[in-house]
Structure 1
Amino acid sequence: MKTTRTTCPYCGVGCGVLATPQPDGSVTIAGDPDHPANFGRLCSKGSALGETLSLDGRLLHPEIADKRVTWDEALGHIAGRFTRIIAEHGPDAVAIYGSGQLLTEDYYLANKLMKGFVGTANIDTNSRLCMASSVAGHKRAFGSDTVPGNYEDLEQADLIVLVGSNLGWCHPVLYQRIAAARAQRPEMKIVLIDPRRTVTNEIADLHLPIGPDGDSALFVGLLAHLAQTGATDPAYIAAHTSGFDAALLAAEDWDIARVAAATGLAPLAISHFYDLFARTEKVVTVYSQGVNQSAAGSDKVNAIINCHLASGRIGRPGMGPFSVTGQPNAMGGREVGGLANMLAAHMDFTPEAIDRVSRFWDAPNIARKPGLKAVDLFAAMARGEIKAVWIMATNPVDSMPDADAVRAALAACPLVVVSDMNRHTDTMDLAHIRLPAAGWGEKDGTVTNSERRISRQRPFLPLPGEARPDWWIIKEVARRMGHAKAFDYETPSEIFAEHVALSAFDNDGSRDFDLSGLIDADYDTLAPVQWPIRTRPAARMFGDGRFFTPDRKARFVAIQPPPPFAPAPGGFILNTGRVRDHWHTMTRTGKAARLSAHMAEPFVEIHPDDAARLGIRRASLVRLSSRHGTALVRALVTDRQQRGQLFAPMHWTDQFASNGRIDALVPGKTDPVSGQPALKMAQVHAEPAAMRLHGYFVAAENPRLSSEYWAIAPALGGWRGELGFTAEPADWPAFLAVTFGTESQFQSIRDDRNGRRAFALIENGRLVAALYTSPDPVLVSRQWAAGLLAETGLSASIVLAGRPGSDRPDGGAVVCSCFSVGINTIADAVARQGCSSVEAVGAVTRAGTNCGSCRAEIRSILDANRLAAAE
């Protein structure tokens, strides 16, 4: 039962994890109290990592054309086909599409193979979808892709501005660090700039519900305000920057009235924000996908940076612009050149850098120009220009914009290779060659988090079946393509050492990325450390006012905000995003029952007024459509959402829902500088999806679903899910037999007055399956019904009732996933046990005492009970 120090595989916070395998095969997970990213804290996803490690659904052997083959056959086939395609069509006819879930060592070899030895820069990554605009903005302003600050700045700031960043759900550990600092220093102010009133608003002093793509106008107006009120730092501007006059000229006409018109914000609220920023020296502006995922994302980033440069608030404790990334190794991918427009070690495709990397790699055939960025890469594939693609650790059929077109492009591509853990993903279904990759807990390497901190991911589980690390797979293909000498690695430590050496090669301090201080480091015992590391690590960058431009001065970028965006008449603006407990396309979190308990099916948030206008009732089904695709989702009617706008999470795939692929609705519109797609803004129509019958089921075995709408999620001991029928099945016994894979006779009851039915099959006191149907969305207690799968000694009467008896407390819908605490349990703590605060509820139920992401929901339950008591 050895405990291994490793790093969480989810978001870019990069939390330290203690993993301890148990004698029964399970793994105990805890936060690492010594890791400087989280100091022992974990979010709900991190806490449940041990529940995602089963081999269910794993790809365990190489396959060609759906048939198991040896590794030698698979690797030889890939190398041979790639070599022939390159010979016939040139190196630009092949591509790799990678992932921020690759380790740095994996990324390094993939980039080296393609750019150094195949001779094409057609290697891009799903990180293009989350932070490419930050890269572009950093490079335009600083001359390098450098995040200036660190997490400590969030605790030291007097004002934190959160822009397009729902930290409470997407980066919960950072959210908790800020909340803890706020509790110690109540004078700290927090401003939330977001179209939605998210749970992060729980700690905000001011919420600015900005209109679509209004961020540029808001910060351009702020720059003008800083200049007009004397809140700039003329000495800093003169000594350390260039281009201020041009940036100010572009901003000077953006008074508060014009900003209000462009953003939809109240002038008084804008003035309040501007005054807070102007009079507070220690300001950190945290931004994420709401800024980056835009056709104007790079300009938004530079509009934010301009304000920090103008006030000299950068490179010092408690101040600076701060990009937080969505993937565990998005930063590591940037370091090694995982983006198509970067070379390696933060170098671009300049003549000097091309020569330098070519000499270091001994690669005379090195690529000499940028390759195709993600959206362009799949478009080229659709045109037949890309003849072979190797996809690693990602699922573009669901995560890319215009996802149906991406699926069609892959279906038409002559050779699709997919390396992944999972046998069943929507992308894996299109693969000609499937390669079983090692997963978290099995891999050995490094990742870099959002504050430039390199941490080790260490293995604590054996490789299952014939799974292999990604770096090994890439190395073996490279050797078979004739590059054995350049890919002669036996361990990931050798790759990391080369990565370190390249960062230091011909680097006299003119390049930001420098790991020279790690040349003699012990890889096995490497502690979390921030780069650059020359003689010692640098916690912050640019404190000396020197940047990485030719004149060592930061550049202001003149920004012209786009005009206000409005949907077509009768349409909506769709904002896509994430939920609290799921990750990307659920290939990992979809295995954990408690992570699906909070949000178990695809949904759309819609304002009550819009719902009433369209005849959309609470919990009814909604059809979303655009000229690119459709989706069928559950209505979540809430005033958290603005009128005329919708929010839908991007997690659901064809593995988990009948038609829940939200990114199929989003066009492939991109930022012209960064190539990042505008995933946050699509024009869609919404309408009620008429269903004759609704259903909810629980089953011990994975059912075979065929209704017009379905969504499935794991439950403890089986599965749970929702159904929708446009017509009632004509033969219920036949439907039940096919769906649940049994010829056994179900017991049933029917209420002719309201059209509700229930079916149950009990064998030896254990629930095999139950189905509840109703003309309206089913009112059965879902958590209680799912919990029956783990019980013994059941009778059909208990199951058919659809609700627990007085001797079986019903916890209700899960609010706290960390401890599986339901809404009824929390309400009881408030109403019956006298809890009057979130802390008191936590003391009684444990809800909200781990990651804290549910604290806003707990507070709303408290408020609702107070309101009920007052009435």
Structure 2
Amino acid sequence: MTVPVSDATPAVVKTTCPYCGVGCGVLASPDGQGGAGIAGDPGHPANFGRLCSKGSALGETLGLDDRLLHPMVDGSRVTWEGALGTVAGSLRRIAEEHGPNAIAFYLSGQLLTEDYYVANKLAKGFLGTPHVDTNSRLCMSSAVAAHRRAFGSDTVPGCYEDLDEADLIVLVGSNTAWCHPILFRRMADAKAKRGTRIVTIDPRRTQTGEEADLHLGLRPGTDTALFSGLLVHLATQGAVDRGYVADHTAGFDAALERAQSIAPSIAATAAATGLGESDVQTFFEMFTRTRRVVTCFSMGVNQSAQGTDKGNAIINCHLATGRIGQPGMGPFSLTGQPNAMGGREAGGLANMLAAHMHFAPEEVDRVRRFWDAPNIITGEGMKAVAMFEAIARGKIKALWVMGTNPLVSMPRADAVREAIAGLDLYVVSEVLATTDTARATAKKTVLLPALAWGEKSGTVTNSERRISRQRSFLAAPGEARADWAIMSDVAKRLGFGASFAYTSAAQIFREHAALSAFENEGTRDFDLGGLAEISDRAYDTATPVQWPIPKRSGDPRKGRARLFADGRFYTFDGRARFVAVQPPALASVPTAERPLILNTGRVRDHWHTMTRTGKSQRLSAHRAAPFLEIHPDDAVRYRLTEGGFARVSTDHASAILEVAVTDGAQPGNVFAPMHWSDMTASHGRVVALVRGAPDPVSGQPELKATPAAVTPVAYRSRGYLLTRSAMPATAGWWWTRAAVQGGHGLIFATQDGSREVALALRGLFPGHEIAEYSDHARGLYRLAAYRDGRLMACLAVEAGERRPDWELAKQVFAADEITAADRRSLLSGRAQTASAGPVICACHGVGLDVITAAIAAGAGSVETVGAACKAGTNCGSCIPEIRKLLPAALARDAA
């Protein structure tokens, strides 16, 4: 939908954010030069105008740097005709020689639903390969499996309004304040307005835990013990809704008996989870005595070798109390990616067919007839981990990767790279030419330029089943094309043209909606029948709507906010199922050689492998380097210091990370974020360290518990380099890249001394005016390079473990004019004027020193700090950090 502003300004386009599963509405105002202003859409029911730091910075990520703009075959530019002919001809040859099972597709939650639909139809209906999976396997497939076991369908029962109406919100394995910040602001608003209490359950005391009324730092992997204990407590306290259980469920007695064997009492639960008995009792009483409870679970639950059981243990407690499908209550899976839900709807997982159908003979026949598919598959394909293992064994000869970066995000990613090298055909549909995955090579490698966010148009579905439009507001650059169009052209070359004669995303959506309604009659949860005849105009102007939207509903603009309020589920007898979960057991246990447990996850301002967020200087300012969180006791034990380096090693790989010492980590456990790649760091690919043992039900790999060892790493010198254009890092150095205002930043460490660094880098600026300061006896060196009075580069090197602070240099580098005082500052390392300090609030670019100055001037609360400098007034994900500054600053002033 476009909203005209005036004759003098471009129209504002209503679209949807491409990051997490919250699915926030965005107003994009194109500037006519390839950029756009970004604001939250006040009319979108997911966010009501709010945006997190990542969404707010979308306008900074639209540049064409490193874009893949033309088709490439084996490193050479070719025409689209040549590229598509290579893909189609190779697929045909491989299918003839090895069978269609030798072909695989690996998709992404970044794809639009229409892209997913065409990929699934082409592979499973016409090529005849079942091996179609998605990176959503790594984020929410255990939630899918838990839903199916409990409800008979992959149905999220509730909606975001439940967060507004709950009296207790339980967050399990979810750093919501950083990973779903707009939802966390709703939770915080409910806490302020109606006294909603928040409980966090997580081995780490994250920023979300800092804001909770109760934090339960349980032992990793023991969630099933905690919720088994809760189920037992509900039963012993008479809190089970016996009428609901009898009328609408099955399997309660077996589930309770299993729970009693796992955690028969509060004391046993505490022993199994490592929690204090008083904390367990407090949580159990809060849950028991509060009717309106929403339990949100996310990656900490799903990314586990027991993820499905963890989800079902949570759902069991809601079924036992009848707290599902009603306002302010229910289990709620917080989805990781913007269209993970849409991928599930279209059958993008290897264990699904299409439209939430699976592989019962009647479902296979139904889809075959609807598609008129000559080669319909009849069973499940390989899930992600097994798929890449099959590539390594030579069972899969062709792989088509779309919109994802498995060489960074897959566990044991080094083995994934080696496997890809043996493929006969490796196709990558991508936006950037420089991702780790796009730079990998096989016997035949084809790169296909795809449209990016802002250029493509279609639909996405968020965590609450709400379908929204992503709309284009930028012209397609170079020869980039829509993913669905690329696949349709390949299908035509394979002889399937009549079934892939699509001319628009709206046409594909209509077919997708029609399939969901085909022979449905209310027997399947996913039903878009009310939209199956949507016109092109109505599709273009469509407003967000939640499914199901059956044709019989009458008004296709109105979906259903909640399901299961009537106690009817999608099982054969209409009853929900309790699941007798297995006792907790870590897939990997510490050893003498690997005494620590490595947990992986996300940071506040970056997304996945930073291919988009890495372009933003605001988003790169908060955490510029890959790091390792470790408890103070472990830091002493392993001789690690704050800001120093640690080598983290597992059986699969190693990384070198900056050390962050925090009591938010548990002793014996370390945490490292997954965002850095070979594009952005020399030794930062963390998920490559992960074993990734799959959940036996969902196939989702364990990303939260890998045995690891840490050892200190010392470098002789550390420094930074700011340049207007990206500079290659010197071989053998530790380095990481970060976007800075006006150019590029390189943070480095090396065994070279300052003299050697000066020799290596000084020659990079021929023809520049060079200003230097050196004291090589102390290991100090600084350089500033100017051209025509403009600062073009600045370099600082110091000896020892701590890298020089670059906040002052970044501030000068971003300035339009350079003063004499600025020149002196760059060489002395001392500020002549006040610096903003390290960024705390990315939304408004507010630094630490600005916030502490506001506090020193009398701001004594988060609210008054926000009034003074705007920090914490947008998405609020920085509020925990601001709150932690308050008592320390006030204590310093009082002294």
Report the TM-score range of the alignment, normalised by the length of the smaller protein: over 0.9
C-alpha displacement at 1:753, in angstroms? 6.4
Separation of aligned partners in 2, 1:141 and 1:57: 45
Q: Where do residues 550-569 of structure 1 align in structure 2 (5 Å cutoff)?
A: 550-563=572-585, 566-569=589-592
Q: Which stretch of the first structure deviates more once superposed, 482-491 or 792-801?
A: 792-801
**Seq. identity, %:** 56
User: Map of 1:287-686 to 2, 5 A cutoff?
Assistant: 287-431=297-441, 432-521=445-534, 522-534=538-550, 535=553, 536-563=558-585, 566-569=589-592, 571-686=595-710
CA contact (8 A) 2:60 2:615 kept: yes
What amino acid is the match of 1:19? A
TM-score, normalization by structure 2: 0.95
Q: Work out whether residues 32 and 41 of structure 1, in 8 Å CA contact, stay in contact via their aligned partners in 2.
A: yes
CA contact (8 A) 1:782 1:812 kept: no
Counterpart of 1:163 (choices 164, 169, 172) is 172
**Paired letter, 1:383:** R
CA distance in 2 between counterparts of 1:42 and 1:202 reads: 22
Per-residue deviation, 1:793: 3.1
SS in 1 for 2:238: coil
User: Which of 728, 731, 745 in structure 2 is aligned with 1:720?
Assistant: 745
2:828 corresponds to: 801
Matched, 1:53 2:62: yes
Q: Partners in 1 of 2:381 and 2:766 — Cα distance?
A: 53
Native 8 Å contact 1:781 1:803 kept in 2? no
Shift of 1:695: 1.3
Letter in 2 for 1:769: A
* CA-to-aligned-CA distance 1:744-776 (integer Å, 9 cap, x gap): 574322346643222222222222222211222
Does 1:767 pair with 2:786?
Answer: no
User: Alpha-carbon deviation of 1:681?
Assistant: 1.1
The one-letter amino acid paired with 2:548 is P
1:502 is matched by which residue type in structure 2?
L
CA contact (8 A) 2:71 2:79 kept: yes
Deviation string 1:690-736 (CA, Å, 9 cap, x unpaired) is 21111122122211102420011111111112111123376445401
The residue matched to 1:345 in structure 2 has which SS? coil
CA contact (8 A) 2:406 2:413 kept: yes
> Who is 1:230 aligned against?
238
Pairing 1:739-818 to 2, within 5 Å after superposition: 740=764, 742=766, 744=768, 746-751=770-775, 754-778=778-802, 780-791=804-815, 792-794=817-819, 796-805=823-832, 808-818=833-843
In the TM superposition, what is the alpha-carbon distance from 1:779 to its structure 2 partner?
5.5
Contact 1:729–1:735 (CA<8 Å) still a contact in 2?
no
Match of 2:727, SS state, is coil
**1:843 aligned onto 2:851:** no
Whichever residue aligns with residue 845 of structure 2, its letter is S
Match of 1:632, SS state, is strand
Q: 1:777, CA displacement in angstroms?
A: 3.9
Alignment of 1:11-410 (within 5 A): 11-186=20-195, 188-253=196-261, 254=263, 255-410=265-420
Specify the SS of the correspondent of 1:252.
helix
* Aligned-partner Cα distance in 1 for 2:754–2:76: 37
Following superposition, the deviation at residue 201 of structure 1 comes to: 2.0
Tell me by how many angstroms 1:737 deviates: 4.3
Residue deviations 1:161-218, cap 9 Å, x none? Answer: 00000110000000011111111112x1110001111111243110000111010110
The correspondence of residues 854-865 of structure 1 with structure 2, limited to 5 A, is 854-865=878-889
Partners in 2 of 1:371 and 1:25 — Cα distance? 41
CA contact (8 A) 1:419 1:434 kept: yes
What is the deviation of 1:150? 0.3
Q: Contact between 1:5 and 1:16, CA under 8 Å: does it hold in 2?
A: yes
C-alpha distance in 2 between matches for 1:732 and 1:690: 17
Q: Cα distance, 1:615 vs. partner?
A: 1.4
Q: TM-score, normalised by structure 1?
A: 0.98
Shift of 1:672: 0.4
Q: Distance in 2 between matches of 1:202 and 1:774?
A: 35
CA distance in 1, matches of 2:774, 2:31: 47
Q: 1:801 Cα deviation (Å)?
A: 1.5
**Counterpart of 2:722 in 1: which secondary structure?**
strand
- Structure 1 residue 799: deviation in Å? 1.3
- Please list every run of 5 or more consecutive structure 1 residues that lacks an aligned counterpart in the other structure: none
Tell me if 1:822 matches 2:853: no
Contact 2:34 2:62 in 1 (8 A): no
- Contact kept? 2:642, 2:659, Cα under 8 Å: yes
- C-alpha contact (below 8 Å) 2:773/2:782 kept by paired residues: yes
Letter in 1 for 2:169: I
Partners of 1:767 and 1:794 within 8 A in 2: no
Give me the whole-angstrom Cα distance separating, in 2, the residues matched to 1:112 and 1:176.
Answer: 39
Matched pairs, number: 866
848-857 or 411-420, larger mean C-alpha shift? 411-420
3-state SS of 2:824 partner: helix
The answer to whether the 8 Å contact 1:284/1:318 transfers is: yes
Once residues 729 and 393 of structure 2 are traced to their aligned partners in structure 1, the CA distance between those partners, rounded to angstroms, is 35
Distance 1:567-1:732 versus aligned 2 partners, 3 A rule: closer
Contact 1:574 1:648 in 2 (8 A): yes
Q: Could you tell me how far apart the structure 2 residues matched to 1:43 and 1:223 are?
A: 36
Greater displacement, 758-767 / 616-625: 758-767
Could you say what secondary structure the match of 2:540 adopts? coil
- Counterpart residue identity of residue 718, structure 1: G
- The amino acid across from 1:241 in the alignment is T
**1:784 & 1:741 partners in 2: Cα distance?**
22
